[in-house]
Structure 1
Amino acid sequence: MAEPAEVQRPLTLEAYLEEEARSPVRHELVRGFPRAMAGASRRHNLLVVALVAALFPRAREKGCRVHAETFKLKVAPDTVYYPDLMVVCGPPGENPFLEERPCLVLEVLSPSTEAQDRWEKMRAYLNLESLQAYLLLDPERKGLEGYFREGKGFSLKRYAGGQVPLPCLDMSLDLEAIYSALD
């Protein structure tokens, strides 16, 4: 007779943070269950670095923090993601290993995570009261889709080039300059 399969139980946030601190592999926590993260492509990484370089000076000037790829964002009591980039302008929370109130989140799309970024993460991010914009950059098509807070909801805007407003930093992102990192 076969052994019964072990039933996995959801992790608490505290258990997840303890396990993540010891793990050589990063995991996101989705509704209590850890999900291993894949590595990024060169194009993906170059875009993230270009974004950090473009946003960091203004964020620092405004007293905001910029986190890229390796810092956690808690979006629900049982869900934690590692956004490609987030900007947080409020005071830090009590937990030094995660943020909870970003004003801006950016994800660079990749074939392995695009569906999660467009649907699962988008729904979670847009529920954050502090969020003013959620941006998706495509490293292959050189474009950007942005969800911008308007009143109690968000509006979708697409950009193929030009300047993209970043509301919480009171600046614009020059798409041509960002994508020049891929040349």
Structure 2
Amino acid sequence: MTERSLRPLTEEEYLALEEASPVRHELVGGIPYAMAGASLDHNLIVTNLVALLKPLARAQGCRVYSETARLKVSEDTFYYPDVMVVCGPKAHPLYETAPCLVVEVLSPGTEAQDRREKLSHYLRLPSLQAYLLLEGARPGGVLYRKTPSGFREERLEELLILPCPEGTLKLEEIYEGVA
């Protein structure tokens, strides 16, 4: 039996680990967790969404990132959202800190974390206007929209009206080609 010491990593240690590792890790409370691969449908949803968001984001001076871009949500927690939109200057060469939109595509292995842990962290970001959870198996999901009194949960219908980047997307276009 092999013993391994486990202690929280600093930001610098985590970023060095990520640079040297062939596997991506999210950092939660200073502890790195290897990320699993995604299904083809998951990847297709992300790709479709990035393609739909890109023109809206560009027109509004924002950037769209997918799956391999880090988001720092606290001193000891970094995630790799499936999609995020950021407006304004880049925070750091290796990560962003102020998205206006974060999207996670749900899968059986990540759904609980996306609905609880990540929801809690993301909704605390001052820049965030919306957190979108998309179903991975069928068209649908939930949008958490920022309002003056906090975030409001909205079930997705045929159209998705985004506050940032401002625009409307058709759910059928997000899920185009998904089995």
Query: Equivalent of 2:49, from 48, 51, 61?
Result: 51
Written as runs of structure 1 = structure 2, the 5 A alignment for 1:19-168 is 19-93=17-91, 95-159=92-156, 161-168=157-164
Listed as ranges, the gaps of 5+ residues in structure 1 are: none
Return closer, same or farther for 1:6/1:24 CA change in 2, 3 Å cut-off: closer
Whether the aligned pair in 2 keeps the contact of 1:134 and 1:148 (CA below 8 Å) is yes
Normalising by structure 2, report the TM-score.
0.96
- Name 2:165's counterpart in structure 1: 169
CA positional deviation for 1:86: 0.1
Structure number with the higher helix fraction is 1
Higher Cα Rg, which structure? 1
What count of residue pairs does the alignment treat as equivalent? 179
Percent identical pairs in the alignment equals: 56
Aligned to 1:12: 10
Alignment CA distance shift 1:7-1:152 (3 Å)? farther
- Give 1:18 deviation, angstroms: 0.7
- CA deviations over 1:10-31 (Å, ceiling 9, x no partner): 0001110011001000000000
How far the C-alpha of 1:53 sits from its partner, in A, is: 0.4
Calculate the TM-score normalised by the size of structure 1.
Answer: 0.94
Higher relative contact order (CA 8 A, sep 6+): 2
The corresponding residue for 2:176 is: 180
Asked if 2 retains the 8 angstrom alpha-carbon contact of 1:50 and 1:181, the reply is no
Mapped partners of 2:74, 2:27: distance in 1: 10
